[in-house]
Amino acid sequence: MRPIKTVAFIGLGAVGTNFAYFFHQRLDKGDVQIIADQKRIARYQREGVYYNQERCDFMYVDAKSKTAPVDLAIICTKVNGLEAACEALKSHTDQHTLLMSAVNGISSEEVMANYFLKQNIIYTVAQGMDATKTDNHVICHNIGELCFGAVNEHQTEAVQRIHEFFSAVDFPHHVKADILHHQWGKFMLNCGLNQVVAIYEGTYESIQQEGLMRKQMLEAMKEVQQLSIYEGIHLNEAEIAEWAAMCDTLSPDGMPSMAQDVKAKRKTEVSLFAAEVCKRCAKYDLSAPMNTWLLERLSAMEKAYSD
């Protein structure tokens, strides 16, 4: 397999801009591509994309153009843009391109498998960043990291190649021996943190102190922990505390992407979180009252600002 020299990003939200900026600063301009449709590219070039107040001089590539395949593609869209992103990447990848998803939840890799070779899809978790996007400006204090790993022995070499590439540019990352377990852990966190902060339109500080919001966050996480046992993942209660402690390291003024979506009156990713928990709990006749309430509340909020 060829070494990784070129990387493409699709999706310039808070997370995508955060990671794309990092690689843009460390690689030749032509080796970092931003895949987007012509309308978005025109807007990016006209209005600019800013990271911590610096205008990003990204190389934009028309999604419909046919270019040399990149070595690594990282999808950073919202869930409702995932399938379109996969379709767009088909013209910029080949059988050797490795793919990673920074999309939240536990199902994006399953969607990607409808478009790409399963062995090339490396299960990934984006975590620890506190990037906040307002219009075309992204502010970030903690870049975060990508955690990834092989789900079978056939992916071992691919994971090693990504590790070597990231290490060469000092990109924060961790290779996880059990990436599915870790992915479920992040899913558990998101179901609590993202949804609760979004409903109350708060910031990370809202759940960093004792009170109703932190209590509800932990209750939502507990429901995912119990579900994971039935799904064969077996998260434990100690992991709830570990993920909650990670929340306490985030910038108090920052907010998760779902809260940013509510603030901007955009469609949220509740389908990835509470809706997914409720759907899976129903298979096992499990109760998930907190996630049920979160689903109902977020759905009502979306309906109210979309009417």
pLDDT score, position 15:
94
- Residue 254: pLDDT band by 50, 70, 90 thresholds? confident
**pLDDT confidence tier of residue 306, bands split at 50, 70 and 90:** low
Whether domain 7-177 has CATH 3.40.50.720: yes
Going by C-alpha positions, the residue among 187, 171, 178 that lies closest to residue 148 is 178
Segment 146-165 mean pLDDT: 96
How far is it, in rounded angstroms, from Cα 287 to Cα 197?
22
Return the pLDDT at 149: 98
Average pLDDT, the chain: 94
Please state the domain extents for the chain: 7-177, 180-306
Per-residue confidence band for 82, with pLDDT thresholds at 50, 70 and 90? very high
CATH topology of domain 180-306: N-(1-d-carboxylethyl)-l-norvaline Dehydrogenase; domain 2 (1.10.1040)
Q: Which amino acid is at 244?
A: A
CB of 303 within 8 A of CB of 232? no
Q: Is 37 left (phi over 0), alpha (psi -120 to 50) or beta?
A: beta
Considering the entire predicted model, what is its pTM? 0.90
pLDDT, position 307: 64
Phi, psi of 139 (to 5 degrees): -115, 130
Burial class (CB in 10 A: 0-12, 13-18, 19+), 232: exposed
Q: What are phi and psi of 93, to 5 degrees?
A: -135, 165
Q: For strand 132-134 and strand 137-139, is the pairing parallel, antiparallel, or unpaired?
A: antiparallel
Edge-first strand listing for the sheet containing 132-134: 54-55, 50-51, 137-139, 132-134
pLDDT score of 257:
83
User: 155: how many CB neighbours lie within 10 A of its CB?
Assistant: 21
What are the tens digits of pLDDT across the range 156-174? 999 999 999 999 999 999 9
What whole-number distance in Å separates Cα of residue 15 and Cα of residue 103? 9
The SS3 call for residue 217 is helix
For β-strands 145-149 and 121-127, DSSP reports them as antiparallel
Q: What are the strands of the beta sheet with 7-10, ordered from one edge?
A: 59-62, 32-36, 7-10, 72-75, 98-101, 121-127, 145-149, 173-175
> Tell me: the pLDDT tens digits for 1-37?
678 999 999 999 999 999 999 999 999 989 999 999 9
What tokens does 295 get? 């689903």
Residues in the chain: 307
